[in-house]
A and B are shown apart, each in its own frame.
Chain A
Amino acid sequence: MSFFEFLAGNWTDVLEATLAHAVLVLEALGLAVLVGVPLAFLTYRTTAPRAAVLGAAGIFLTIPSYALFGLLIAPLGLGRGPSVLALTLYALLPVIRNTVVGLRELDPAVIESARAMGMGRLRMLATVELPLAWPVLLTGLRVAAQLLLGIAAIAAAVNGPGLGNLILDGLATAGTPFAIYLTIEGAAGIVVLAVVFDLLFAAVNRLTTPRGFGA
């Protein structure tokens, strides 16, 4: 049986796993934004707290993914819980760092003008700082998404959802006739998702970047 004949037989499983994989990554990304962006807002003008936040987020990224997923089993059990949390922790660094960089690199004259015109802190954040830092923040999300798509395959090891299950099944049945096909399906699904995500981010970037930024 060729690979494509095999695929014709289980493509619904592959599609299902691919969708689950995408949802898992988006959930983690969403959580990372909910946690990371406010942390960035709170600390970007400070020195020590900013270093602490970025340092902590950096440490998460250095923990081997197998270990982190495994460590989270103890508090959260198996399945979706540890998967989402582990991926969220990995996404924090690119999200926080790019938000901080985006905010810190804003033209000081623009910020001073906004203050001098009588804008309050929140209004300035919402109408000036966030829109201007947005392209850099979005790049952080794009990087985080690519990172998570790969790491999310490990989720299968803690009974999480996603394409990792196909890869793991392939590895578990290594030596049997179609084991390699399962692994290829899982890997190819991730590659396809990576391309799709990248295209989507490019589209979002184009649609949401303020026009005045054009060269």
Chain B
Amino acid sequence: MHDMTHGTTDERTAIRLDRIRKSYPGQTRAAVEDLSLEIPEGRIVVFVGPSGCGKTTTMKLINRLIEPTSGRIHLDGTDVTEMPAHQLRRRIGYAIQQTGLFPHRTVADNIATVPKMLGWNKARVTARVDELLQLVGLEPGTFRARYPKQLSGGQQQRVGVARALGGDPQVLLMDEPFGAIDPLNREALQNEFLRIQSQVRKTIVFVTHDIDEAVRMGDRIALFSQGGRVAQYDTPENILAEPADGYVADFIGAGASVRRLSLLLLGELAVPDWPVIGQSADDAEVAAAAARCARDRLLVLDADRRPTSWVPLFGPDRERGEKLPVQGSMGPRDSLFDALDHMLSTNTSVVAVVDEEGRHRGALEMDSVRSLINTAGRREPSGPPQEV
């Protein structure tokens, strides 16, 4: 067995599955077989795997929508079977792909479902509804009184998340919440959800069959194989870098190295510097700067040190004396994947990197991307550093 307790030891365990087994009468194979798992507080743990692998079943065991055949589930150290199911469930948010919004109730009433059951007074419920609508990016004045049918799919999903957060639960269970959204909006919702999570810091169990989504959303990934067995439980970085076995390697697929790029955020990397000149530099200064560096272009900064354009030093562009537009720069929240994608889609060999305020940090070329990948790959002290 592999180690189930990766990560630092000061992490509190919010949910502990202890030797869980779930079998159905008449089926020879258990849906979940002897599963033990610790879910740390305030983190997103993604259950990922092919359909029928038991990941949704395992999730539903936590709020007792399904009762285990044997084994124990502890929530904050308490056995979940020690309290009535309906009380347990009011402490656990639940959001699913089909949203399950009540079609006969307004958005506000949907979100107020759990707060009302918890006996909050009217003023508190109203305030909570507005707070949550704001949190998920829906203007309360516009959306409060609407019915689910009057919303787009993405808006319904936001309301679903707001409703799941209604009673301020410590734990959130989410079953493919963005699975029915088109790819473009899905990515926006995923990012939005990560932003929300950075504010609310819930313990989240997130079920998906999409390894890309798992890598993007998860602090941890539990990769399920058939029969509710966890083939590997680790950070996305470690799973992509060191798949535990052939099954995991197959599931994450051929693109694992490329996927890892999306985990490497520029804000966390040492971006190489790039020769710059001021906007008002004259030809002599450009020539002097060019002489000092071995690059094919200089980055022009304005008075606030924001990149404005490139000055090419060689080739036909140079002869025309034209400056080239920056064509978008990469911020600290962008990943190496984004930087590479930008280079390929704009057909440029170099991309400017800026800080949170849009000020110059440096620039990336293909070569520097490669060396960053190599250094980042050695963040885990798994062996002696190698020469690049």
Contacts and interface: CB of A to CB of B under 8 A. Distances in A.
Contacts of B101: 110, 113
A213 interface: yes
Nearest to B87: A118
Interface residues of A, number: 22
A172 interface: no
Contact of B94 (A116, A211, A213, A214): A116
B179 to A, nearest CB: 12
A109 B104 contact: no
A112 B117 contact: no
A119 B94 CA distance: 13
B68 interface: no
Interface in B68-126: 85-90, 92, 94, 96, 98-106, 113-114, 117
Contacts of A132: 102-104
Interface in A143-187: none
A109 B180 CA distance: 14
A113 B94 contact: yes
Best-buried of A128, A131, A212 by chain B (most CB within 10 Å): A212
B148 interface: yes
Contacts of B63: 116
A119 B86 contact: yes
Best-buried of A111, A115, A117, A120 by chain B (most CB within 10 Å): A117
A197 to B, nearest CB: 26
B19 interface: no
A77 interface: no
Given A118-B89, A120-B86, A212 B96 contact: no
B261 to A, nearest CB: 36
Interface string A98-124: 000000000101111111111110010
B102 A110 contact: yes
A103 to B, nearest CB: 14
A175 B307 CA distance: 107
B100 A212 contact: no
B149 interface: yes
B344 interface: no
A117 B103 contact: no
A30 interface: no
B99 to A, nearest CB: 7
B274 interface: no
Given A107-B98, A109-B98, A113-B94, A119 B105 contact: no
A114 to B, nearest CB: 8
B100 A210 contact: no
Interface string A76-89: 00000000000000
Contacts of B102: 110, 113-114, 128, 132, 212
Nearest to A128: B102
A112 B114 CA distance: 14
B65 interface: yes
B147 interface: yes
Contacts of B149: 212-214
Interface in A123-139: 123, 128, 131-132
Contacts of A117: 89-90, 94, 113-114, 117, 163
Nearest to B146: A212
Contact of B104 (A112, A113, A119, A210): A210
Contacts of A212: 102-106, 147-149
Contacts of B113: 117, 119
A128 B110 CA distance: 11
Contact of B100 (A109, A120, A131, A211): A109
Given A112-B65, A115-B65, A213 B114 contact: no
Contacts of A109: 96, 98-100
Nearest to A210: B104
Contacts of A118: 85-90, 114, 117
A214 B148 CA distance: 11
A211 B227 CA distance: 44
Contacts of B163: 117
Contacts of A115: 65, 89
A173 B126 CA distance: 71
B103 A210 contact: yes
Given A109-B99, A118-B114, A132-B104, 16 more contacts: A107-B103, A110-B102, A112-B65, A113-B101, A115-B65, A116-B65, A117-B94, A117-B113, A117-B114, A118-B85, A132-B102, A212-B103, A212-B106, A212-B147, A212-B149, A213-B103
3 interchain residue pairs of minimum CB distance = A113-B100, A210-B104, A212-B147
18 contacts: A107-B103, A109-B96, A110-B103, A112-B65, A112-B96, A113-B99, A113-B100, A114-B100, A116-B63, A116-B173, A117-B90, A117-B113, A118-B87, A118-B90, A211-B147, A212-B102, A212-B103, A212-B106
Interface of A: 107, 109-120, 123, 128, 131-132, 210-214
